[in-house]
Amino acid sequence: MTARKIRILVVDDSAIVRKLLTEALSAEADMEVVGTAPDPFVARDKILALSPDVLTLDIEMPRMDGVTFLKRLMHFRPMPVIVISSLGTSSSQASIEALAAGAVDVLAKPGGPQSVGELGQHLAAKVRAAAAARVQRPLAPASPVAPVASAYPASSLIAIGASTGGTEAIHQVLMGMPANGPGIVIAQHIPPVFSRVFAERLNAACPMRVREACDGDAVEPGLALVAPGNFHLLVRRAANGYRVEVKDGPLVCYQRPAVDVLFRSVAQAAGAHAVGAILTGMGSDGAQGLLAMQQAGARTIAQDEATCVVFGMPREAIKLGGVHRVLPLGAISAALLSEARR
């Protein structure tokens, strides 16, 4: 019996982009593009008529922008949506807003032959992840946590890794961190430019300072560093604590930044002084690295299936035996702080 194909509706005001996306997706044996739409009004009718499994959505469109349409869609008919947006600052900001509104992932729009090839490498995997996603209405904003009186050991370090659904999961975790909490390093699968806008959004909302990491940055209490898109983030021992290294390199688990790369470096640099958390995401990235952290003496946490958008990465880490505790998203901030106090 032939497995049912993933049904996709492509929504973009550019006929060229609609054609490129359709060709890339139609080349996959397990996918079919059931329709395309140049704007949200046509898309609305085709969603009702075609019942697609996954929607790819442009941000800048005539008659109604993609974020406004997404918010209405998630209210009346929640479904997996992948935002495909240009790399301009305003579009990137809107794309991060779309993730907060319920989109499961974001991709950079193809801008030439090279980027079309790069898109083809990632689009199919993201569509498969979206098709398997547990689509949830956006979470209510968490209340910021006030600074706590008890200090954390200067050597304590928290490492977080995530993919599909991870931008909002990380937001929730950081909202539960006090302004004077332990230094945090984050690897989230996200394209360049979007990672900087993501960090800026977190910085504006969370008690801790948050910024996109630069090579040589110190890991400090009250600061969270986000891996730049398309670069690996590593932690190194320094004379007075830890510093990060931002570097190019081959894809690991098809990703750059890779959670495995970050976690392995944390295992080597911080050992038992570290705490690791693997959050929602497709695939197995982070499982081997979290095991390395555990074997180095670190405490490790995985997000539970019920609160994940996609349970792939946490499930693989649990199967490998690298997880001490499996917790719902809402309990992870407190658990990370508790472990960091040890």
Per-residue pLDDT, averaged over 83-99, amounts to: 85
* CATH 3.40.50.2300, the chain: domain bounds: 6-131
Domain 157-340, second-level architecture: 3-Layer(aba) Sandwich (3.40)
Active site residues: 163, 189, 285
- Which of 52-61, 119-128, 293-302, 324-333 comes out lowest in average pLDDT? 119-128
CATH 3.30.70.100 fits 6-131, yes or no: no
Q: Which two tokens stand for residue 42?
A: 């046509």
Q: Which two tokens stand for residue 250?
A: 């081959």
- Which of 35-49, 109-123, 326-340 comes out lowest in average pLDDT? 109-123
- State the sign of the Cα–Cα–Cα–Cα dihedral 294, 300, 305, 308: negative
Within the chain, strands assigned E span 6-11, 31-37, 54-57, 81-85, 105-108, 157-162, 183-188, 209-212, 218-219, 223-226, 232-238, 241-247, 274-278, 299-303, 325-327
pLDDT of residue 142: 61
CA distance 122 to 126: 6
Confidence bin at 139 (pLDDT 50/70/90):
low
CA distance 210 to 139: 21
pLDDT of residue 200: 96
> What's the chain's average pLDDT?
91
Share of the chain above pLDDT 90, in %: 80
What's the predicted TM-score (pTM) here? Answer: 0.93
Per-residue pLDDT, averaged over 140-161, amounts to: 75
> Given a cut of 50, is residue 113 above it in pLDDT?
no
Side chain identity, residue 315: R
* CATH 3.40.50.180, the chain: domain bounds: 157-340
pLDDT in tens, 57-83: 999 888 899 999 999 999 999 999 999
